[in-house]
Amino acid sequence: MKTLYLYNTLNRKKEEFRPINTSPQPSPSKGGGVVGLYTCGPTVYNYAHIGNMRAYIFADLLARTLRYNYGEARVKWVMNITDVDDKTIRDSKIKYPNIDPNEALKKFTAEYEKYFWEDMEKLNIKKPDVIPHAADQKYVEKMQDLINKIVKAGYGYIKDGSVYFDVAKYYKNYKYGKLINLDMDGFKAGVRIDADEYEKENVQDFVLWKNQEKGDPFWDYELDGKSLPGRPGWHIECSAMGQETLGMPFDIHTGGIDLKFPHHENEIAQSVIGYNVDQPVNYWLHNEYLLVDGVKMSKRYKNFYTLRDLEEKGFNPFAFRYLCMQTHYGKQMNFTFNSLKAAEDGLKHLKNQVRELGDEKGDINSDYKNNFFKAINDDLNLSKALAVTQEMLKSDLLGQDKLATVLDFDKVLGLKLNQVDEDIELPEDIKSLVAQRVEARVGNNYNESDRLRAEIEKRGYLIDDTKDGMRVVKK
C-alpha cells in the first residue's frame, strides 16, 4: 500500500492520510471498510460556472485517487444537492409565483440540477455514490433531529419562530475557528444572523432553522411544544446529510475555500455538539479559486463562464478538465481563453500519441506506475502525474505496454485518452455552413461544396470526409 499525503486545512499541513476503517478485508461485502468522502454540492438556483466546476473536478480527481489506492468499491463518495436555501427560495418564487411554494422550489431546483449533471458528465466527473437532497422530507427530519439535540444540549435557542446556534457558549467551551483564524474580539453574544452566507467580520449566532416567511416554502417542525413551520439553515443541511450517509466521524470533506467560513466552521460546531464527537471530519480539503483577470469567478461579479459558453466557442469540455489538472488545486488559477486553447492542443497531442500505440494492450509498467502513484499521492500533484505520463510515452517501452500503462493512469486522469473525439458542439454559423455543404454534396454540386469547405476553413474549422461520414474539427 502506498502512502497518500493530503493537505489538511484543519492542521494547515500536508499529512499522511489514515482512513478510519483500516480493515484489511478486500471489499465491503467481505467486511472491509470504505473511505468516506463528502463534497459540498451545488446550490441549484442557476447554471454552475466553470469556477464551481473546478471544485468538482478537484473532488473527482480526489475520489479517483482514493479508488486507485484502495480499490473501486472501497470509496463512498457523497455529494449533496442544496435545493433549499435563501437563493433557491428567492428565485423559485420569481419563476413560479402562482404555484404552491414547496412545489415551485422543487420544480425550479430540478431544472438546474438537470443542467448540473449534464455538465458533470461532459467533464467526465463520475457520479457520486450517494446524492442526498437537502429538501427531501427524509433529510429534513434528520436535520430537525440534529437541531433537537443541539437545543437539548443547551447550545441552541428559539427566537421569533427561528432556532439559532449559541456561538458565545460554544466559543467558551470549544475552539470556534478551526479552519480559519477568527478574530472574536468584535463578537457580540446574542446577536443573530439569518442569512446563509456572511463574512467573517459578522461572526454571530447563526440560524439552524428559519421561520417561514409569508409565501415561502416550509416544513412542519415542533420543538419544545412549539410549532415552528419553516426551513433548515444551509449549514445544518450538510451536518445532517454527512452523518446520515457516512456516519460520524468520517474521513474527508471537500469544498472551495470560500466554504471554510462560515459553512464548514458551523458544520463542525453543530456536529461537535449534536453528534457528540470531538472531530466530525478528520481531513478537510479546500480548492482555491478560479480567477478571471485576478478576481474570483463568481455570479456576483458577473465575470463567469459556464461550460455551455465554452462549448459555444467551440471548445471541448475535456480541455477545461485538462487545464484544471495543470495547476495544483490548492493554488489560484487564472482563466484565459489562450490557456484553454493551449490545453486543448496539449490534450489533442496526448490523444494522438495514444492513438498511435494501436489497440493491443501489454503489461502495465511498474516503474512508471510507481512514479505516477508518487505524484498523485503527493496531495494530488496532477501536473507531475502528467509529466510522468509524457515521460513514459516517450520512453523506449513497447507500444503495447505503453498503452496498458497509459490507460491505467487514465483511471485517475479521466481524460478518455483512447476515445476518438466526438464531434464538438459547433457554433451556429458553422453548423449552418456544414448543413449547406451536406446538401451541396447530396446534389453532386462539388463546386459549391468546395466553396463552403473553404469558407468553413476561413472561420477556423476543418472538415474531414471519412468513410464513416464527415467530421468537423477546430483548426
Binding interface with ligand AMP (CB under 6 A): 40, 42-43, 51-52, 54-55, 255-256, 258-259, 287, 289-290, 296-298
Quote the DSSP letter at residue 237: H
Instruction: Report the residue number, 40 or 386, with the smaller CB distance to Zn ion.
Output: 40
**H/E element, 157:** strand 156-159
Does position 281 bind Zn ion by CB under 5 A?
no
Return all residues near 272 (Cβ < 8 A) that are at least 6 apart: 170, 174, 278, 279, 280
Residues in the chain: 475
Sketch the per residue contact string, 325 through 344, with Zn ion: x for CB under 5 A, - otherwise. Answer: --------------------
State which of residues 40, 357, 417, 456 lies at the interface with Zn ion (CB under 5 A). Answer: 40
Instruction: Report the residue number, 55 or 433, with the smaller CB distance to ligand AMP.
Output: 55
d(CA 23, CA 35) in angstroms, rounded, equals 11
CB of 147 to Zn ion, least distance (A): 16
Q: Which does 347 bind (CB under 5 to 8 A by kind): Zn ion, ligand AMP, none?
A: none
Q: Which does 238 bind (CB under 5 to 8 A by kind): Zn ion, ligand AMP, none?
A: Zn ion
3-state secondary structure 63-78: HHHHHHHHCHHHEEEE
Q: Give the CB-nearest residue to ligand AMP.
A: 256
Per-residue cell: 79: 455529494
CB of 145 to ligand AMP, least distance (A): 24
CB of 76 to ligand AMP, least distance (A): 19
# chain residues binding Zn ion, by CB under 5 A: 2
Contact 42, 116 (CB under 8 A): yes
Instruction: Report the residue number, 169 or 299, with the smaller CB distance to ligand AMP.
Output: 299
CB of 298 to ligand AMP, least distance (A): 6
DSSP E strands in 170-320: the ranges are 192-193, 205-211, 222-223, 226-227, 230-232, 250-256, 281-287, 290-292, 295-296
Q: Which does 270 bind (CB under 5 to 8 A by kind): Zn ion, ligand AMP, none?
A: none
DSSP for 411-441 reads HHH---TTSPPPPPPPPHHHHHHHHHHHHHH
Instruction: Report the residue number, 102 or 334, with the smaller CB distance to ligand AMP.
Output: 334
CB of 81 to ligand AMP, least distance (A): 10
Instruction: Report the residue number, 156 or 256, with the smaller CB distance to ligand AMP.
Output: 256
Instruction: Report the residue number, 42 or 128, with the smaller CB distance to ligand AMP.
Output: 42
CB of 41 to ligand AMP, least distance (A): 7
Instruction: Report the residue number, 200 or 355, with the smaller CB distance to Zn ion.
Output: 200
- Grid cell 454571530 is found at 204
d(CA 370, CA 383) in angstroms, rounded, equals 16
Q: Which does 281 bind (CB under 5 to 8 A by kind): ligand AMP, Zn ion, none?
A: none
Instruction: Report the residue number, 53 or 357, with the smaller CB distance to ligand AMP.
Output: 53
Instruction: Give the CA dihedral 117, 122, 123, 127, nearest 10 degrees.
Output: 40
CB of 238 to Zn ion, least distance (A): 3
State which of residues 238, 424, 430, 434 lies at the interface with Zn ion (CB under 5 A). Answer: 238
CB of 89 to ligand AMP, least distance (A): 15
Quote the DSSP letter at residue 224: T
d(CA 169, CA 186) in angstroms, rounded, equals 15
CB of 135 to ligand AMP, least distance (A): 15
Contact 464, 473 (CB under 8 A): yes
Return all residues near 113 (Cβ < 8 A) that are at least 6 apart: 42, 44, 81, 83
Instruction: Report the residue number, 77 or 305, with the smaller CB distance to Zn ion.
Output: 77
Contact region with Zn ion (CB under 5 A), list: 38-46, 187-195, 208-216, 323-331: 38-46
The Cβ of residue 231 has, within 10 Å, a number of other Cβ atoms equal to 26
Nearest to 298 by CA among 46, 57, 51: 51
Q: Per DSSP, what are the bridge partners of residue 211?
A: 230
CB of 255 to Zn ion, least distance (A): 6
Instruction: Report the residue number, 290 or 393, with the smaller CB distance to ligand AMP.
Output: 290
Q: Which residues make up the interface to Zn ion (CB under 5 A)?
A: 40, 238
